[in-house]
Structure 1
Amino acid sequence: MAAPMDSNKSLHALKKFEKKLRKIEKLLSSKEQMVISKQPTRILCVQNGGLECNVSQSELWPLFAAFGNIDGIVMIPRKSYSFVSFTDMTCASQALHHLNGHLLREGRDPTQDVILYLFYTETVPSSMMPSSEKPAGLLIVEDFVSQEVEENLLKLLPEGSEETSKDTGVMKHRQVKHFGFEFKYDINDVDVKNPLPDGIPHECHDILKRAQSLGLVDHY
């Protein structure tokens, strides 16, 4: 009886996966005005492969490059999806066949798993193409901090810790570290009457003082 039971489980999992795909496709079409193609194309939309899910281009490139030459990968700010463009449609088809439903990253529990869902699309919408134009008021200061300062800042972040506290929280696709005050995501603000015991690290104060001395900020 083991084989039929396994077969039933596989069929149930397949139906659940297809239902998930239909739900995502409907969302992308209606909310994002994306044109999803039923026929193979060179361009794949990768749901859960975007910056909003804390996924980087460097993670996606070797994964998809295993199936052929890539023209480029477009990451969209504040979006949960990205676009992978192949030089050949056959390569895109193979990638979709092998990577649709791929577990890119396992979370602390199943709700935090980063699972990729792939769709064919004819083009990357022009409104979503990356732009080199800087936002109004943006000032870029090259090499503002040294490599040593960068390393010291990274040491402030917990790596691989399973513990959670007020200053270290877990979101759906990423872990966050709070300094000074805990950011309350339910109210989208901090409670100024309830500061964190460790305060703000001196490494951050040094950066803020330098920014103040250069006239980049007038207070902190």
Structure 2
Amino acid sequence: MVAPQLTLSWYPTSKSSNVVMDPDLWFEDGDVVIVAGNTHYKLWANLIARHSTRFKTMFLETNLAAPHTYDTFDDCPSYTLPHKPEEVTLMLRRMMGFDRAESVLVDIRTLETLLETGTYYEAPSLREEALLWIQKLYPTSLPAFEQARKARTTLIPFFAPSIKSPLDLDYRLARLAFRYRLREVLPLILYNLAAAEPIAFLETSYKLATLLDRV
């Protein structure tokens, strides 16, 4: 039986000669190449697909496609992603089991990357990791929530240097919770904002609602 002809709905591989091979994520016996900008990663498709429904679908389409109908690099199917190299590097390191210690949180941009890539590539473990960090500030039980409020000054440095104040962190996390539908923590974040600065919260709540309508 002849395999059906499929057109892969993905991005063409960059033809730039300025190729950078990530030293930690390039394995000679890998069977798939991921590309972000000029950065190339050679990994194992079954391992990546285990973490991401979207990658699993991409790899399945390639397996069903006829030869020479998809891009290759180093004799492997290749896929160029729409995200920045630093975002893809963080995502793939997590999928490969690197940097999973609790201490690995550079700043709030790490949370943003975990949520963005976890949502876009349908990788639940990335979203769950981000949510666990956010729940350090906004635990789901009332006693733990009160303790977390008292310990905020010790937790804030984990989200530095882009965060200027505790309330700045609340607003940033509220926007993330809206954008990525983090229903587990959104009510607690909004409660904290309303309790700390009720007038300012009312003045900005419209902006948050507008943001929700856009995503």
Q: Which has the larger radius of gyration?
A: 1
Structure 1 length normalisation: TM-score? Answer: 0.27
Structure 2 length normalisation: TM-score? Answer: 0.27
Q: In proportion to residue count, which structure has more strand? A: 1
Q: In proportion to residue count, which structure has more helix? A: 2
